[in-house]
Amino acid sequence: MLIKPPPELPPSEITPRKLFEARRSFLAHTALGLTAGAALWHGLPVHAASRLDGRPSPHSTTEPLTAHKAVTGYNNFYEFGTDKADPARHAAKMQVRPWTLRVEGLAARPRSFDLDDVLKLAPLEERIYRLRCVEGWSMVIPWLGFPLAAVLKEVEPLGSAKYVEFVSHYDPAIMLRRPVLDWPYREGLRLDEALHPLTILALGLYGEALPNQNGAPLRLVVPWKYGFKSAKSIVAIRLVEHQPATAWNLAAPQEYGFYSNVNPQVAHPRWSQASERRIGELRKRPTLMFNGYAEQVAGLYRGMDLAKEF
């Protein structure tokens, strides 16, 4: 995986929290919210229909947000190129409407969802999460989404389902920058990780529908794991009995484990994970165990040797 220093974003580019909260209040009072979200999927002009709103969540951090410009312009989405600016340059070619999400495998009621169906599953919430990249940089992002558990509940997982596999969209006609991985991109979680309240299916950020470069129209967000675990532009979710193969683990198993929990005590083979650089800040800060979500998720890994099962 390429390592490049993050951009030197001045503090003036960080969105003031008061400004962002005032904007959210405006959206609520102009009755956008879910209605506007539904309008988006019905093909209204982007400028009129890309706004979303979600109710506040107790799971959100109160840390300052990373600048919108950085969140939408500094991305890893290798299907569109390995430079951080490539996804914003090239992902607009990806068609995200109509979109079908298949949820299949070991389920009593496997089914497909279009985006209207997805939006009806649960109210949107604003989840302000820390995002820690395996490359050593981090962001704080105001996602809009709802617990992945709401989707899985709809299909009724069978008792034999132990893991969840996620498959991302892949169109070789527009995603041909480099053969970095074996496409389509695949990720996986244990079923209890997938059902955890912190794990969400996101459809927006910063009060708007997800930009293509951030994984439109829907993506996974698992805040206590390195960012590459949060698969983008998902087309299939599969309930399976055995641990699924994942894209980065297949490419370099010695560097990218299946769990990939943020862990400052376990170095990547080529660099330390003890500290990170928050985009927009000049100095590094210590990395927190499970990205600061240890109180909520450490119990999932009780009894495991996290140096071996990394």
| 79 assigned binding-site residue | yes
**Cα-flanking dihedrals φ and ψ of residue 290, to 5°?**
50, 35
Token pair recorded at residue 35? 């209605």
| 261 assigned binding-site residue | no
| 168 assigned binding-site residue | yes
> Residue 287 has what DSSP assignment?
P
Q: Which residues fall within 8 angstroms of residue 162, CB to CB, at 6 or more apart?
A: 190, 191, 240, 241, 242, 243
| 219 assigned binding-site residue | yes
Query: 3-class SS at 100?
Result: strand
> Residue 196 has what DSSP assignment?
S
**Which burial class, exposed, middle or buried, applies to 79 when counting CB atoms under 10 A from its CB (0-12, 13-18, 19+)?**
buried
Residue entry with tokens 């009755």: 31
| 214 assigned binding-site residue | yes
Residue entry with tokens 């009780």: 302
Residue entry with tokens 């999460």: 129
Query: 3-class SS at 203?
Result: strand
- Count how many residues are written for the chain: 310
Instruction: Kindly report each contact of residues 86-94 with a partner whose C-beta sits within 8 Å and lies 24 or more positions away, as own/partner.
Output: 86/177, 87/212, 87/213, 88/211, 88/213, 90/174, 90/177, 91/211, 91/212, 91/213, 91/216, 92/212, 93/174, 94/169, 94/171, 94/174, 94/175, 94/212, 94/216, 94/233
| 133 assigned binding-site residue | yes
CA distances from 144 to 51, 100, 132, 220 (A): 11, 19, 18, 11
| 97 assigned binding-site residue | no
Q: Is the four-CA dihedral 92, 94, 99, 100 of positive or negative sign?
A: negative
The DSSP code sequence of 210-228 is PPGGGTSS-EEE-TTB-GG
| 78 assigned binding-site residue | yes
Residues at the annotated binding site? 75, 78-79, 133, 168, 214, 219, 230-232
Residues at the annotated binding site for Mo-molybdopterin? 75, 78-79, 133, 168, 214, 219, 230-232
